[in-house]
Amino acid sequence: MVTPVDRALPSRRLLAVLALLIAIGIALPRFLTHTPYPRLGCRISRDHGVVERVVGPPALGLLRPGDRVVATGGIDLTRQTERDSMRTHGYPRGPFPLTIERAGQRMTLIIPPVQLTGWQRLRLYAYPLAAVIAAPLVAFLLVWRRPDLSSAWAFLWFAALQGLTIIYGLYQFPQQEFPSGFHLYLKLYEWLSWLYPASFVHFMSVFPRSRWQKGNRLRSPWFWATIAAYLAPQVIWIAYQGWRATPPDTAYNWYQAVAILIGISSLFERYSRTGPEWRPTTSQRALALIAAFALLAGGWVNLIANDPRIQAMTPEMGLRFLFSSISFAWLSAPFIIAFLIADDPLFDPRRLIVGGMPYALLSGILAAIYLAIVLGGQRMFASATGERTLVFNVIAALIVAFAFAPLRSRMQRTLAGMFGRDPEALRRELDTAGRALLSALDRDEVRASVEGGITRGLRRPVTVKWAPQGPPTLADPESLPEDARGPIETLLAQAGVRLDNLHLAAQRAAAERNAVELREAATRAELRALQAQVQPHFLFNALNALAYLIEADPMAASRFTGRLADMLRYTVEAGKRPAALLSDEIAFVDDYLGVARERYENPLHFKYKGDPMLLSLAVPPLMLQPLVENSLKHGIAAGSASLRMTFDARLRDGWVELEFADDGNPHGNGGPGLGVGLENLEQRVRRFAGPEARMTAGPRENANGDAATGFVVRLSWLADTEGSAR
C-alpha cells in the first residue's frame, strides 16, 4: 500500500536538490569575485582603519593589532572613502610603502608580496572549506534518507546558511570594482549570513527531535525563541540606518552570542532528560556536551577577542593560538552534531555513509600512493641517470588498480563494523545469541542473550518489547536497517519458542512436584496412622502393668512411673519424625525392659550383636518396641527361668539385614500369622524403605535345620551408598 508520505518522497527529494543548488548558486559569485586572503595579511576595521587582527604574511612580523593605517602611494587612508576604494581596487601585488601610526608615532614600512607556505594555505583554507562541503552534504543525505522529518530539513537549512556564512567571511576581499546590481547581490548575501544564528536556534530546537508538535506550537517556549531569533536581525537592520547600511560587526557578534547561548540551552535541555522514546547513551551525552562547549567558546570568545582593548592586552602568539582554537572548535561542532544525527536510529543515514565513505577515503589514499610513486620514482631515477621516464606512471597506475579492490573491501568492512552495518558481524552475534538461548534457564537469561546479541551486532541498543505471553517484538522496526530486520526477527522468534519451552517445562516440573508432594503427604499420613496405632497399644499395656504394680508393689510402681514418663516422651517425639537412629531404638529397649522387669518375675536379657558402625543407621521409629513386646507376651513359657533376646544388624551385598531373636516359646509368638503388632511393623518398614523391603517371622532353626527353642524376626531393605536406608 502506497501512503501519501511515499508519494511525496520524490518531490521532497527534488526540493532538497534544488535547495542545495540554490545555496551553491548564491555562494558561487562571491567565491569567483573575492579572494580569501587579504593583501596585507591582516584585518582592518572599516570605521577607523585600525588593524584588528593579524592573519599571516606579509603583516606577520610587521604590523600589530592597534596599528592605524595612514597612507600608501600618496593616498590618504585616514578617510573611509579612500579605504573603501583601496579595498575595492586592491593593494598593489608587488612591494609598496605603507605609512602607519603606532603608539602616537608614524612610520613607513615596505610591504613585500604575499608568500604563503603550504601549511599556511592548508590551515587557512582547507578546514573551513571542508566544513563548507561536509556539513551541507551530510544534511542533504539526511533529507534524502528521511525527507518526511522536519528535523532533517532544519539541519539542511542550518548547514546551508553555515556554508554561505563561511564563504562570505572567508572570501571577503574583492578583486575588482563591481556594478551597482552586484552590490545588491552582496547586500542580500550579507543579510542571509545574518540569518545563520537564527537557523542555529531553529535547528537546536528540533534536534534531534522537535520540541513541539503541530497542535502545541504556541505552548512551546522553544518555538517562540526560534521566532524571536529570526526577527532579531530584521530589528537590528531597521534600527541601524533603516537598511541603508550594514550594522557594525559588534552588533552581529552580540546577536550571534545570544543565539548560541539559546541554542546550547536547548541542546543541554534535550540531552539531560530521558523519555519513553528518547534514551541518549553516555557517549551521545558526552558528544553533545563537547559540541555545546565548542559552540559556546566560538561565539563568546570571538565576541571578546574582537575587542581592541582585549587585543592590546593579549600577546600576539596568544591571540593567534586563541583564534586558531576558536576556529577549530567552531568548525568542528557541526561534524559532532552530524555524527549525533547519524547515530540516531530515527535518521539512520549510516547506509549512505558506509556505502560512500570508502570511495571518498580511497580517492585520497590512492592519489597519495600514485603521486608518491610517480614523483618519488622519477626524482630518484633522475638523480641517478639524469633522465626522466614515464614507466613510473605505468607502475603507479598498476599498483593503484590492483590495490583498489582489496583496500575498498577492507575499508568497507571496517566502516560497516564501526557503524554496526556489517551483515557478517551481525550474523555471527545473532548466531551466538541463538546458541545461548539453548542453555537459557529462565526468562531473564533469554532476554539477556537476545538483547546482548542485538546490541553487539548493531553496536547500539535496540528496544525490544517482552510481552507476558508470546514471542518478543521490536518496539520500532523502522529504526533498524532493512538487511538486519529479518535476522533479528528470526532471533526473536527463536526466543519466543524457547520461552514457550521453558513455560511448558516449568508446568511439567510444577505438576511433578505437586504429584511428589501429594505422594509424600499420603506416605506421611499413613505413617502417622500406623504410628498412632503403636502409641495407644503400648500405652494400654503400660497402664495395665502400672495398675498391677500399684497393688503388688507401690515402690516398684513409683520407679515404673518415672521410666514410663521417659518412654512416653520418646514415643511422642518419635511419632513426629520419619526416621530414628538405631542407637536410640536400642536405648529405648533398655528403658522398656527396665519397666517390664517390674512386672515380670523372670530375668529379662537383651543384647546388641551387630556392627557398632551401624548404630547410626536410620530405621523406622519404634521398630524394636513391638518385637520386644511380642517376645514378652508370647515367648515366656510356663516354668521358664528367663528370657534372652538378641538383636543383630549387618550390611551385606547392598542390603540392610536386621534380625531380632529370643529363646522363648517358638509356637506362641503370633500363631499362624504375624499378629497385629508385627503386621503393623511390616507396613511401616515398607513405607520407610520402599516396596522391595521384606519381613519374615517364625521359629528359629538350628544349624542342621531342626527346629530350636526361640522365635526370630528378620527385616531387610536396600541400602544407599552410605549404608543407610533409602
Looking at the domain assignment, is residue 591 inside a domain? yes
Number of H helices, E strands in the chain: 21, 17
N- to C-terminal Cα distance for the chain?
Answer: 70
| Residues 295 and 331 occupy one common structural domain | yes
Looking at the domain assignment, is residue 52 inside a domain? no
Does the pLDDT at position 318 exceed 60?
no
| Residues 445 and 576 occupy one common structural domain | no
Looking at the domain assignment, is residue 84 inside a domain? no
| Residues 477 and 329 occupy one common structural domain | no
H helix or E strand, kind and range, residue 615? none
Q: Which residues contact 407 (CB under 8 A, 6 or more apart)?
A: 362, 365, 366
Looking at the domain assignment, is residue 223 inside a domain? yes
Cα–Cα distance measured from residue 581 to residue 617, given in angstroms and rounded to the nearest whole number: 6
Q: Which of 167, 135, 134 is nearest to 33 (CA)?
A: 167
Give the other-Cβ count within 10 Å of 652's Cβ: 9
Q: Which of 136-140, 149-153, 198-202, 252-256 has the highest mean pLDDT?
A: 198-202
Looking at the domain assignment, is residue 525 inside a domain? no
Q: Which of 338, 260, 266 is nearest to 302 (CA)?
A: 260
Nearest-10 crossing angle of helices 443-458, 423-438: 170
Q: Higher-confidence residue: 174 or 422? A: 174
Does the pLDDT at position 594 exceed 60?
yes
Looking at the domain assignment, is residue 190 inside a domain? yes
| Phi and psi, residue 696, nearest 5° | -130, 150
The DSSP bridge partners found for residue 96 are: 111
Cα-based angle 599, 600, 601 (whole degrees, multiple of 5): 120
| Residues 158 and 173 occupy one common structural domain | yes
Cα–Cα distance measured from residue 44 to residue 65, given in angstroms and rounded to the nearest whole number: 9
| Phi and psi, residue 660, nearest 5° | -115, 125
Q: Which of 301-315, 467-481, 511-525 has the highest mean pLDDT?
A: 467-481
Percentage with pLDDT > 90 across the chain: 5
Task: Write out pLDDT tens, residues 566-593.
Answer: 777 777 777 677 788 899 889 888 888 8
| Residues 572 and 620 occupy one common structural domain | yes
Cα–Cα distance measured from residue 404 to residue 409, given in angstroms and rounded to the nearest whole number: 8
Structural domain span for residue 245: 4-37+116-347
CA atoms 155, 158, 161, 163: torsion sign: negative
| Residues 242 and 256 occupy one common structural domain | yes
Residue 714 has which C-alpha cell?
A: 528378620
Give the other-Cβ count within 10 Å of 15's Cβ: 15
What CATH number did the domain enclosing 601 receive?
3.30.565.10
| Residues 186 and 273 occupy one common structural domain | yes
The DSSP bridge partners found for residue 713 are: 660, 697
| Residues 126 and 22 occupy one common structural domain | yes
Predicted pLDDT of residue 121 = 58
| Residues 617 and 641 occupy one common structural domain | yes
| Residues 584 and 707 occupy one common structural domain | yes
Task: Write out pLDDT tens, residues 212-262.
Answer: 877 778 888 889 999 999 999 888 888 876 666 677 777 887 888 888 888
Predicted pLDDT of residue 543 = 74
Three-class secondary structure of residue 211 per DSSP: coil
The DSSP bridge partners found for residue 652 are: 655
Over residues 255-279, mean pLDDT: 79
| Residues 691 and 573 occupy one common structural domain | yes
Burial class of residue 49 in the structure, from the number of CB atoms within 10 Å of its CB (0-12 exposed, 13-18 middle, 19+ buried): buried
> How far does Cα 143 stand from its chain's mean position?
29
**98-107, 520-529, 603-612, 676-685: least confidently modelled range:** 520-529
Task: Write out pLDDT tens, residues 665-688.
Answer: 877 644 444 566 677 788 888 888
Three-class secondary structure of residue 709 per DSSP: strand
Task: Write out pLDDT tens, residues 353-404.
Answer: 555 555 555 565 666 666 666 666 666 666 666 555 556 566 666 666 666 6
Does the pLDDT at position 307 exceed 60?
no
> How far lies 278's CA from each of 101, 207, 281, 431, 462, in Å?
60, 12, 10, 29, 12
Looking at the domain assignment, is residue 196 inside a domain? yes
Q: Higher-confidence residue: 658 or 677? A: 658
Does the pLDDT at position 522 exceed 80?
no
Provide the number of structural domains found in the chain.
Answer: 4
Burial class of residue 535 in the structure, from the number of CB atoms within 10 Å of its CB (0-12 exposed, 13-18 middle, 19+ buried): middle
Looking at the domain assignment, is residue 111 inside a domain? no
Q: How many residues does the chain have?
A: 726
Percentage with pLDDT > 70 across the chain: 67
Q: Higher-confidence residue: 272 or 100? A: 100
Task: Write out pLDDT tens, residues 412-451.
Answer: 666 655 555 666 777 788 888 888 877 788 888 888 888 8
Cα-based angle 536, 540, 544 (whole degrees, multiple of 5): 170
What does pLDDT average to over the chain? 75
Last residue of a domain, one of 300, 316, 347: 347
Last residue of a domain, one of 433, 468, 503: 503
Over residues 180-199, mean pLDDT: 86
Cα-based angle 458, 459, 465 (whole degrees, multiple of 5): 60
Last residue of a domain, one of 364, 395, 418: 418
Q: Do 651 and 659 touch, CB atoms closer than 8 A?
A: no
Q: What is the DSSP letter of 108?
A: E
| Residues 429 and 412 occupy one common structural domain | no
